[in-house]
Amino acid sequence: MHIVDAEGCYLIDANGKRYLDFSSQLMCSNLGHKNQVVIDSIKKQAEDLAYAMPGYATNARAELSKLLLEVLPKGINKFFFTTSGTDANEAAFKIARMYTGKTKIISRYRSYHGSTSSSIAATGDPRRWPMEPRGKAQGVIFAPEAHCYKCPLKHSYPDCGLACADYIEHMIRNESDVAAVLVEPIVGTNGVIVPPKGYMQKLRKICDENGVLLIADEVMAGWGRTGEWFAMDLWGVTPDILTTAKGITSAYVPLGLCATSEKIGDFFQDNYFAHGHTYEAHPMTLLPAVATINEMKRLKLVERAKELEPFVHEKLVALKAKHPSIGEIRGHGLFWAVDLVKNQKTKEPFNTYADKISGKALLVDQIAGKCLAEGMTIQAWVSHFVIAPPLIVTKEEIEWGINLLDKWLHLADEQCM
Ligand code: PLP
């Protein structure tokens, strides 16, 4: 696709054809395209001060920090600005290791945390495999994910008593040297996996009782996507470190953030944090983040994602009822997965990660291709679709997008067993 233009929830190609952006590109264009306030902020910052070294205070940095104090979970108030989510996680791992004096990070199998050496090593999904054994050498160990539909421990909620959280405690107690537990509060690319009730609270307690930090990777789940500013707000749990990117500028410019509690931030008053970059806290990225947050507040987009949740849920429940190939629909706010299975009983997916990384043609890609031809882009991943339109989306657009998916799901239904 040769994209030359975009506006609102639509991308426009070189032939003038319009596409509904049903997954906000990479779940990042939360405000939609061509927001004039954000565009103006980019122009203004370029005119006022395109660059100043990270060590300086700038107006944009001060303004953004003030706004972050308003929207981040209470108690998270020290900020390190990066250029991506990957880089924010790199910073988080170093911070956790320096602060605790310990090495190991417990991550979970179905997770993605970035593509540089440490962040891919902390990624539980098979994108990590080509980098092993170097990945392992970096002190990451993996726990089972909190995924009730396909529980890796073969339990069922609530009888399990949250065994997946207990497992993490078991790991902490039987490993030495654990610095942190790293979670995507709602797992993103690996299938919009929402943990069961009580899981995050239990994890917080386990971390506190064992002197381990809790890192929430909100790169995808943050910024109103779930109907709260941050997914951790769904459970009222404050992590020790929160990383984010994507929606912080609604993808207009590349910015990431590693934010910590005051106690952790203060530790670095006396301890040099060797993670500087030339483009860290780049003013050209900070003012657009100010504009993005202000626009989200003005347009009440967090509230909007929450209000639209029952509408999307109802439409997806109806979609599932029509298609034997849909195993589960799950999500929050405007962040949903439609998970396909060949067989409702065995829950066997049409394709696996091994198929994806070996370059095999995937059924979800075939269906996404049909949708593309009819004017909609949708994120297809291994055996599920991610429905995550810009938060400005209308009910009519949601309905149109789900109807288009509905039209092509027979390609999966026909292969059900
Ligand atoms: N963490 C999560 C949860 C993500 O979804 C992503 C990207 O999709 C990253 C980290 C990496 O962020 P970036 O692509 O900005 O480096």
Q: What is the pLDDT of residues 63-85, one digit of tens each?
A: 999 999 999 999 999 999 999 99
Q: Which of 115, 163, 173, 116 is nearest to 141 (CA)?
A: 173
CA distances from 263 to 53, 107, 209, 245 (A): 26, 23, 17, 23
CA separation for the pair 384, 325 (Å, rounded): 11
Taking only the tens place, the pLDDT of each residue in 281-317 is 999 999 999 999 999 999 999 999 999 999 999 999 9
In the reported structure, the alpha carbon of residue 384 is separated from the centroid of ligand 1 by a whole-number distance in angstroms of 18
Q: Which of 96, 131, 129 is nearest to 117 (CA)?
A: 131
Q: Which atom of ligand 1 is nearest to the CA of 86?
A: 16
pLDDT of residue 276: 83
Tokens matching residue 215: 């890192």
pLDDT of residue 132: 80
In the reported structure, the alpha carbon of residue 101 is separated from the centroid of ligand 1 by a whole-number distance in angstroms of 26
Strand, coil or helix: 155: coil
287 in Cβ contact with 63 (< 8 Å) = yes
Q: How does DSSP classify residue 185?
A: S
335 in Cβ contact with 379 (< 8 Å) = no
CA contacts within 13 A on the Cβ side of 168: 34
pLDDT of residue 50: 97
CA separation for the pair 105, 82 (Å, rounded): 21
Q: Is the Cβ atom of 220 under 6 angstroms away from ligand 1?
A: yes
pLDDT of residue 128: 87
pLDDT of residue 368: 98
Instruction: Tell me what ipTM this predicted complex has.
Output: 0.99
CA separation for the pair 83, 172 (Å, rounded): 32
In the reported structure, the alpha carbon of residue 113 is separated from the centroid of ligand 1 by a whole-number distance in angstroms of 6
> What DSSP assignment string belongs to 244-272?
E-GGGTTTSS--EEEEEEHHHHHHHHHS-
63 in Cβ contact with 293 (< 8 Å) = no
Nearest-10 Cα torsion for 400, 187, 291, 82: -140
CA distances from 224 to 187, 202, 297 (A): 15, 24, 10
Residue to mutate, 28, 82, 86, 116, ligand 1, most ligand atoms under 8 Å from C-beta: 86
Q: Which amino acid is at 177?
A: D
- Report, as ranges of residue numbers, the positions in the chain whose pLDDT lies below 70: 134-137
Q: Which of 89, 204, 202 is nearest to 140 (CA)?
A: 89
Residue to mutate, 24, 112, 218, ligand 1, most ligand atoms under 8 Å from C-beta: 112
Q: Would the CA dihedral through 75, 80, 81, 84 be positive or negative? A: negative
